[in-house]
């Protein structure tokens, strides 16, 4: 039973039997899929991008607690695909939100390092670890943390937590899943990303506790009368964050990714890691969070700005607020700042942060939804999409109605005679999209096929490397001359 439920006024009675689910079934959504059938090797490989080679993959936890995901709706995660780890059943994460208490209690052990971070004993730990060799002195990747402990278990002992420990060639370990406790304060300590450290308070506690880093939080509270704001089963999720850690180039380093329930085995949490985002390069990392991110014009917002350079070079930053206004370039002392801005008119705005060390840049983006007085210059409908370029991005920004582009640039490796499934993605044009192998392209590995929806799947029966060209077409326009756009992309898939 969730201890303290009646005292908090929730009235929830949850009986926990190991390996059982205590929630409505996962939502039905053709735009979202989770696959937990792959090997730990294939899951870890899905995270890997340029400049990193992995080996010695090991996993501890329930089989269905980890896997890969493909979400075609950018409003859910700002990630098209990647890997997911959960303290429960990852298959239950597909939206919309149909329960405020999604739970699978595996009855498994916790993780002592996570217990130390949470401050409470943990259960149902899922741990993925591997060795890797980077090409530069930093690694970075993007992630989002989600939980059904929000909001009624915020500021309690049910402080579900996760961590990404990166150990360099000299044995120095860093948990890069951390944020400043106070936005924009260079003297503020870093704290683990957890339920009690990123939230919008707890409405059932009296008095309500102080919200912690609400600039990094997206509520998705269950409403039995209507659909959830985000097509995801979890009751809350962080914005896309960046893990950055120092490493030793050219030698073996180690990474350990872990998540667990705290104080009990129910009301699960999950962490999503962006596919192919584990990179090793010299780009500074960047992060931005708007608070508030929605309201009535004129809307005053604060932007928590974060930057980090792997070589300790001084940084500058600038922000394009999406409404024709900009801030900077300005120095970024202490690697953080808290600039403000006022949105005067209604619209959906993408605020794009650029961090520079004078040679390389990192980008990040967050969105503001403003209602009220109409924009005299016409409607503004922007969304974050930085796929066109920029290093170290944690999101994206741009206008809708762009040209059709294939945004999947790489395919994860396959494992001989094991199930394979990966979704291709595109942006711009006139959705829905239809996929195929391009005319003249080499064939896929034996045993694999590509569907019209852009899913490469099957069981490869031959090892080797295949370079193919995929093609995507959008929907013909209604107006004459009924134009239709097509885009292609060369990708390589290896099977071993």
Task: Give me the pLDDT at residue 397, please.
Answer: 30
pLDDT tens column, 467-487: 898 998 887 765 555 578 888
- Which residues are paired to 142 by β-bridges? 242
pLDDT tens column, 100-140: 777 899 999 999 999 998 888 999 999 999 999 999 899 99
pLDDT band, very low/low/confident/very high, at 346 (cuts 50, 70, 90): very high
Whether 285-399 and 405-495 share one fold: the answer is yes
The domain ranges of the chain are 20-274, 285-399, 405-495
pLDDT surpassing 80 at residue 430: no
| Strand 20-21 to 104-105 pairing | antiparallel
- Which residues are paired to 145 by β-bridges? 271
Give me the mean pLDDT over the 37-49 stretch: 94
Strands (E), 211-252: 217-219, 236-238, 241-246
Rg of the Cα atoms in the chain: 22
pLDDT tens column, 230-282: 999 999 999 999 999 999 999 999 999 999 998 887 789 999 999 999 988 88
Where would I find the H helices in 328-431? none
pLDDT band, very low/low/confident/very high, at 454 (cuts 50, 70, 90): confident
Would you state the structure tokens that stand for residue 11, as one six-digit string?
A: 């009235």
Q: What is the mean pLDDT of the chain?
A: 85
The order of strands in the sheet holding 434-437 is 434-437, 464-473, 486-495
Report which of 419, 369, 357, 396 is spatially closest to residue 37, judged by C-alpha positions. Answer: 419
Nearest-5° angle of CA 138, CA 140, CA 145?
A: 145
Give me the mean pLDDT over the 13-19 stretch: 40
Query: Residue with structure tokens 């394009």?
Result: 320
Residues with Cβ within 8 Å of 248's Cβ and at least 6 positions away in sequence, in order, are: 134, 137, 168, 169, 170
- The helix (H) or strand (E) run that includes residue 278 is none
pTM above 0.85, yes or no: no
Residues with Cβ within 8 Å of 142's Cβ and at least 6 positions away in sequence, in order, are: 79, 240, 241, 242, 243, 273, 274, 277, 393, 394
| Strand 361-371 to 294-296 pairing | parallel
Q: Which residues of 96-126 are buried (b: 16+ CB within 10 A; e: fewer)?
A: bbbbbbbbbbbebebbebbbebbebebbbbb
Which has more confidence, 314 or 77?
314
Give me the mean pLDDT over the 365-391 stretch: 77
Four-way CATH pick for 285-399: 1.10.4160.10, 3.10.310.70, 2.60.40.10, 3.30.1360.30: 2.60.40.10
Task: Give me the pLDDT at residue 113, please.
Answer: 93
| 3-class DSSP assignment, residue 45 | helix
Task: Give me the pLDDT at residue 482, please.
Answer: 59
Four-way CATH pick for 405-495: 3.90.1570.10, 2.30.30.90, 3.20.20.60, 2.60.40.10: 2.60.40.10
How far apart are alpha carbons 257 and 57 in whole angstroms?
11
How far apart are alpha carbons 347 and 324 in whole angstroms?
13
Contact 380, 372 (CB under 8 A): no
Task: Give me the pLDDT at residue 403, please.
Answer: 62
Contact 289, 315 (CB under 8 A): no
How far apart are alpha carbons 303 and 292 in whole angstroms?
9
Query: Residue with structure tokens 């919008």?
Result: 200
Contact 353, 286 (CB under 8 A): yes
Give me the mean pLDDT over the 402-423 stretch: 76
Query: Residue with structure tokens 């075609």?
Result: 72
Read off the DSSP letter of residue 116: H
pLDDT surpassing 70 at residue 418: yes
pLDDT surpassing 60 at residue 7: no
pLDDT tens column, 292-334: 999 999 999 999 999 999 888 999 999 999 999 999 999 999 9
8 burial type by CB count under 10 A (0-12 exposed, 13-18 middle, 19+ buried)? middle
Q: Tell me, letter by letter, the H, E, C secondary structure of 11-29.
A: CCCCCCCCCEECCCCCCCC
Contact 243, 141 (CB under 8 A): yes
- The helix (H) or strand (E) run that includes residue 456 is strand 455-458
């Amino acid at each position: 039973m969730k201890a303290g439920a009646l005292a908090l006024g929730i009235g929830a009675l949850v009986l926990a039997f190991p390996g059982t689910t205590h929630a409505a079934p996962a939502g039905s959504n053709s735009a979202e899929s989770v696959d937990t059938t792959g090997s730990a090797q294939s899951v870890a490989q899905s995270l890997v991008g340029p400049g990193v080679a992995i080996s010695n993959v090991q996993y501890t936890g329930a089989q269905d607690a980890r896997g890969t995901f493909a979400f075609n709706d950018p409003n859910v995660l700002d990630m098209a695909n990647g890997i997911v780890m959960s303290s429960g059943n990852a298959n239950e994460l597909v939206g919309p939100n149909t329960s405020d208490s999604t739970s699978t209690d595996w009855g498994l052990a916790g993780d002592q390092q996570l217990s130390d971070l949470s401050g409470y004993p943990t259960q149902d730990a899922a741990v993925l670890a591997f060795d890797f060799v980077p090409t530069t002195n930093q690694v970075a990747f993007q992630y989002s943390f989600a939980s059904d402990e929000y909001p009624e278990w915020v500021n309690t002992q049910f402080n579900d937590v996760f961590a990404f420990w990166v150990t360099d060639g000299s044995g120095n370990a860093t948990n890069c899943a951390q944020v400043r406790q106070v936005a924009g304060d260079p003297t503020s300590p870093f704290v683990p990303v957890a339920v009690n450290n990123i939230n919008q308070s707890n409405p059932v506690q009296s008095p309500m506790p102080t919200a912690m880093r609400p600039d990094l939080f997206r509520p998705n509270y269950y409403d039995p009368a209507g659909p959830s704001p985000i097509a995801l089963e979890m009751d809350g999720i962080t914005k896309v964050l960046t893990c950055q850690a120092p490493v030793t180039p050219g030698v073996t380093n180690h990474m350990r990714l872990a998540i667990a329930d705290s104080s009990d085995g129910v009301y699960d949490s999950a962490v999503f890691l962006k596919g192919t985002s584990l990179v090793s390069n010299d780009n500074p990392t960047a992060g931005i969070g708007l608070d508030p991110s929605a309201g009535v014009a004129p809307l005053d917002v604060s932007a928590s700005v974060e930057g980090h350079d792997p070589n300790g070079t001084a940084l500058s930053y600038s922000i394009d607020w999406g409404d024709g206004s900009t801030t900077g370039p300005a120095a970024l002392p202490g690697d953080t700042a808290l600039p403000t801005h006022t949105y005067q008119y209604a619209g959906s705005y993408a605020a794009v942060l650029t961090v520079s060390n004078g040679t390389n840049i990192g980008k990040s983006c967050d969105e503001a939804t403003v209602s009220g007085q109409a924009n005299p210059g016409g409607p503004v409908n922007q969304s974050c999409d930085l796929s066109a370029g920029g290093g170290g991005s944690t999101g994206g920004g741009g206008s809708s109605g762009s040209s059709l582009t294939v945004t999947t640039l790489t395919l994860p490796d396959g494992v001989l005679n094991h199930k394979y499934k990966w979704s291709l993605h595109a942006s711009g044009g006139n959705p829905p999209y239809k996929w195929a192998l391009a005319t003249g392209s080499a064939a896929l590995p034996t045993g694999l096929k590509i569907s019209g929806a852009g899913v490469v799947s099957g069981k490869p029966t031959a090892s080797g490397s295949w370079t193919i060209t995929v093609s995507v077409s959008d929907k013909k326009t209604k107006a004459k001359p009924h134009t239709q756009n097509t885009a292609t992309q060369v990708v390589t898939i290896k099977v071993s």
